[in-house]
Structure 1
Amino acid sequence: MFGRFERMVAGRYLRARRGERFVSIIAIFSLIGIALGVATLIIVMAVMNGFKADLMSRVLGLNGDLNIFSAGHSITSYQDDVVAIHQVPGVVRVTPMAEGTVLIDAGSYSSGGMVRGITQNDLRDLHALSDNIIEGKIDNFQGDDAIAIGSTLAARAGLTIGSKITLLSPNGQATPFGTMPRIRAYRVTAIFDAGVNDYDTSVVLMPLASAQRFLMMPNAVSLIQVATADSLQVRGVTHAIAERLDDPRLRVMDWTQSNNAFLGALAVQQNVMFLILTLIILVAAFNVISSMIMMVKDKTRDIAVLRTLGASRSAIMRIFLMCGASVGVSGTLIGFVLGVVFCLNIEHIQHGVEHLTHTNLFNPEFYYLEHLPAKLIWSEVIEVMVMALMLSFLATLYPSWRAARTDPVEALRHE
């Protein structure tokens, strides 16, 4: 498409001589603008994707892909339901749990929280927690007074392994003076770090049998948590489980139903950020148009000489297309490298900035997670690069067309 002569002339025009550096400087700024736009778009999209993926993996790992519950009632025949759910294709874990709201009291610290009763084997299979035990052992998670708490709760209340913690449940026995809440002291046997601040602050775990007695739910559970082989294909498993369960009071709700508003807001935010940051590349493309028009104006006499020597209009157009495309391609490649390198080292960069500024850039109490995630989806990276290249190419069309339309007689009339 581009001949040797055209490549030579385009390369000569891109190398500024004395007196022509102003046009070259504008082209450099256009290149920098495209590079920064591409890098920014890649970084922001990677952070948004990483935040969404990390949030889903942690939330689904802790709460399951879907939950079975009975509205206003506990599930009494949960053993049979667990067996039936295990037979559904795509189910990898079934965890019955007893839940209840409690008041957590440890010395001068008190706060509302939630008790979750779970068996020792089910806790071991719940890798989002069992793989993140920072103190104590799962083997000690047994007995009538054992309890596991989150790292944030332990830090705030000053608790360690063996510390005592008191739980108060509003579910109590009825007396002539009203319902008396249940109060019981427990011993901390394990401390976990789930990576989700709300979970580490307010959720305490105890053996299922102990939780059933404390919450006054003999031989019953509050919900059955289910994990599937592919959380993105959870809808089919949800329908299969609903058809297999015999009790009409049971309800099956998967993560697409329970978190649809939150995940929908994330998707909208991601799309809006993509559109807004695309404007950076668009502005850089306008800079390319400006620099190319100035180059065409500056090279009017050269264009006339080339036309006089026999260069066709299409050759002139290809020369300036190559000049503009060089700026666009170079800027896109530089932006690609900057964006990918930044994403691959984003945690080191975050820690470096925090060390220099002595500030916490990503406080888990406000941002729900404890680190800044980044996930590169190469299809999106390629999409960004293609968009930048297309905008850069389109930006060169009009100036190149103007250069090709230059009349050599008029250009050399006053020379």
Structure 2
Amino acid sequence: MFRPLSIFIGSRYTRAKRRNHFISFISLTSMIGLALGVLAMIMVLSVMNGFQREMSNRILGMVPHAVITGAGQPLNDWQAVAKQLDGHPQVLGTAPVTQLEGMLSFKGNMQPIEINGVDPEAEGEVSILGSRMIGGRLEDLRAGESGVILGLMTARRFGLRIGDKLTLIVPELSDAPGGVTPRMQRLNVVGVFKVGAELDGSLAMIHRADAARIQKWDPEQVEGVRVRLADLYQAPMVASELATTMGEGYRARDWSMTQGSLFSAMKMEKTMIGLLLLLIVAVAAFNIIATLIMVVADKRADIAILRTLGATPRQIMTIFMVQGSIIGLTGTLIGMVLGVFGALNVSALVGWLERVTGQHIFSSDVYFINTLPSELRLEDVLLVTLAALVLSFLATLYPAWRAAQTQPAEALRYE
């Protein structure tokens, strides 16, 4: 089979057993370093993808993807609005919601809280609340009974159990000198949920009819209709489109207004960690420079003979570019395979370590997520592999150029 001279000699130099074992050792360490760098990047990015997925599922499974509200007025016929919204292809579910902000008070202790007035029968269409109950049931919220479902952190902070009573304090605009007077509502704890996020300490649920009573509305009036979307990252655009479709007198807000900063920070963190890990790959890739410089010094006589036989400087340069590229390609492919395998099995590995050592690495008492999630993405694997290959190729250019500048007479003078 025909092979160009440069590729043949370059690949042969890579396979050959060199007289200088130190050069072979440096080549091996460059290859191993590159493989470890690629392995680390793929695994770390996959774990960060897993954490982002878990936080998205938990937080955005509880907060509304989008809410369509009246322009400063409650909705009188939310069922009709929900029926119209259901016709949009991006809408997977709708439910009424009334959102309040206030303070919870229990035995002298107080805490700010966000209250969602929900319909227990429709909430399952837009929320994961029903599957996150660790005490009581979502159906225990009944109109007129002033029931409340609290997050686990709130319940622990106050030492509350199902059946206990606490006070909700809601500010109300008035003609008083201060402009605001507090309104108090006695609530009964009927359930506790655990999402595994900050919402466990900042969110509570009551029946929409009780929320309407606090707001001094009719029992069937609600603030808006909550919408669950097929692609939650399209929420700003879709929410605006839904409000426009509904016509004048309707407004839209989406999760990016309240939770957007959190997910922007997570995305920025992933980018910065990826860049820092890329430095490890860069260090390993540029070790190829040292390897090839020593190879060029070791092969000066061979280079001179090839030049004497008619090899051009371009062919000499290609020989060492091929040799360095093979080192980089081998290390990158080994790192990619090990990284993919590690990313797919890191959760099981952590579970095995916890069973063997008897220690919980991610204790549920300390962390919101008590496992090490991982989500392998093809685009991350391709990006890391391509970056490693490019850096490896760039590392071959200078030593190969130095080899091409070798003068036969000078190299053979003392041979």
Q: Give the TM bin, normalised by the shorter chain.
A: 0.7 to 0.9
Matching residue of 1:278? 278
Question: Helix, strand or coil for the counterpart of 1:287?
Answer: helix
What letter is aligned with 1:403? A
> Are positions 1:114 and 2:117 aligned together?
no
Partners of 2:405 and 2:257 in 1: how far apart?
A: 60
Matching residue of 1:242? 243
Matching residue of 1:193? 194
Matching residue of 1:184? 186
Closer, same or farther: CA 157–385 of 1 in aligned 2, 3 Å: same
Closer, same or farther: CA 268–170 of 1 in aligned 2, 3 Å: closer
Partners of 1:47 and 1:254 in 2: how far apart?
A: 27
Q: CA offsets per residue over residues 250-285 of structure 1, 9 Å max, x none?
A: 321234555555544444444444334333322222
Question: Helix, strand or coil for the counterpart of 1:36?
Answer: helix
Q: Calculate the aligned-residue CA RMSD, in Å.
A: 3.7
1:105 Cα deviation (Å)?
A: 4.2
Partners of 1:372 and 1:106 in 2: how far apart?
A: 36
Answer yes or no: is the 8 Å Cα contact 1:65–1:227 preserved in 2.
yes
Answer yes or no: is the 8 Å Cα contact 1:362–1:372 preserved in 2.
no
Equivalent runs, 1:220-239 vs 2, <5 Å: 220-235=221-236, 237-239=238-240
Answer yes or no: is the 8 Å Cα contact 1:350–1:361 preserved in 2.
no
Question: Helix, strand or coil for the counterpart of 2:406?
Answer: coil
Partners of 1:157 and 1:81 in 2: how far apart?
A: 38
What letter is aligned with 2:343? C
1:296 Cα deviation (Å)?
A: 0.9
> Are positions 1:398 and 2:401 aligned together?
no
Answer yes or no: is the 8 Å Cα contact 1:46–1:374 preserved in 2.
yes
Closer, same or farther: CA 185–228 of 1 in aligned 2, 3 Å: closer
Matching residue of 1:6? 9
Answer yes or no: is the 8 Å Cα contact 1:98–1:221 preserved in 2.
yes
What letter is aligned with 1:184? R
Closer, same or farther: CA 182–34 of 1 in aligned 2, 3 Å: same
Answer yes or no: is the 8 Å Cα contact 1:151–1:201 preserved in 2.
yes
Answer yes or no: is the 8 Å Cα contact 2:113–2:203 preserved in 1.
yes
Percent of paired sites with the same residue: 32
Answer yes or no: is the 8 Å Cα contact 1:153–1:202 preserved in 2.
yes
Equivalent runs, 1:43-58 vs 2, <5 Å: 43-58=43-58
Equivalent runs, 1:240-319 vs 2, <5 Å: 240-248=241-249, 250-256=250-256, 258-305=258-305, 316-319=316-319
What letter is aligned with 1:329? L
Equivalent runs, 1:308-387 vs 2, <5 Å: 316-348=316-348, 372-387=372-387
Q: CA offsets per residue over residues 58-85 of structure 1, 9 Å max, x none?
A: 3332222212235665444434433332
Closer, same or farther: CA 124–269 of 1 in aligned 2, 3 Å: closer
1:369 Cα deviation (Å)?
A: 5.9
Answer yes or no: is the 8 Å Cα contact 2:75–2:224 preserved in 1.
yes
> Are positions 1:87 and 2:87 aligned together?
yes
Q: CA offsets per residue over residues 349-403 of structure 1, 9 Å max, x none?
A: 55677886968668897x8766554322212211221121122122123323333
Partners of 2:343 and 2:138 in 1: how far apart?
A: 36
What letter is aligned with 1:150? G
Q: CA offsets per residue over residues 186-230 of structure 1, 9 Å max, x none?
A: 142x3322232x211222212222332345333332332111222
> Are positions 1:24 and 2:24 aligned together?
yes
> Are positions 1:153 and 2:150 aligned together?
no
Q: CA offsets per residue over residues 7-35 of structure 1, 9 Å max, x none?
A: 6632444x344xx1222222222223322
Question: Helix, strand or coil for the counterpart of 1:99?
Answer: strand
Closer, same or farther: CA 12–101 of 1 in aligned 2, 3 Å: closer
Partners of 1:327 and 1:53 in 2: how far apart?
A: 36
Closer, same or farther: CA 266–139 of 1 in aligned 2, 3 Å: closer
Closer, same or farther: CA 127–98 of 1 in aligned 2, 3 Å: closer
Closer, same or farther: CA 363–40 of 1 in aligned 2, 3 Å: farther
1:118 Cα deviation (Å)?
A: 1.0
Q: Which moved more, 1:377-386 or 1:267-276?
A: 267-276
Q: Which moved more, 1:201-210 or 1:268-277?
A: 268-277
Answer yes or no: is the 8 Å Cα contact 2:95–2:125 preserved in 1.
no
Closer, same or farther: CA 158–337 of 1 in aligned 2, 3 Å: farther
Partners of 2:329 and 2:176 in 1: how far apart?
A: 82
Question: Helix, strand or coil for the counterpart of 1:121?
Answer: coil
The aligned length equals 407
What letter is aligned with 2:30? S
Matching residue of 1:133? 133
Closer, same or farther: CA 8–96 of 1 in aligned 2, 3 Å: closer
Matching residue of 1:213? 213
Matching residue of 1:42? 42
Answer yes or no: is the 8 Å Cα contact 2:10–2:320 preserved in 1.
no
Answer yes or no: is the 8 Å Cα contact 1:105–1:167 preserved in 2.
yes
Q: What TM-score, normalized to structure 1?
A: 0.81
Partners of 1:82 and 1:399 in 2: how far apart?
A: 68
Question: Helix, strand or coil for the counterpart of 2:122?
Answer: helix
Partners of 1:299 and 1:157 in 2: how far apart?
A: 77
What letter is aligned with 1:243? T
- Please, which runs of 5 or more residues in structure 2 have no aligned partner? none
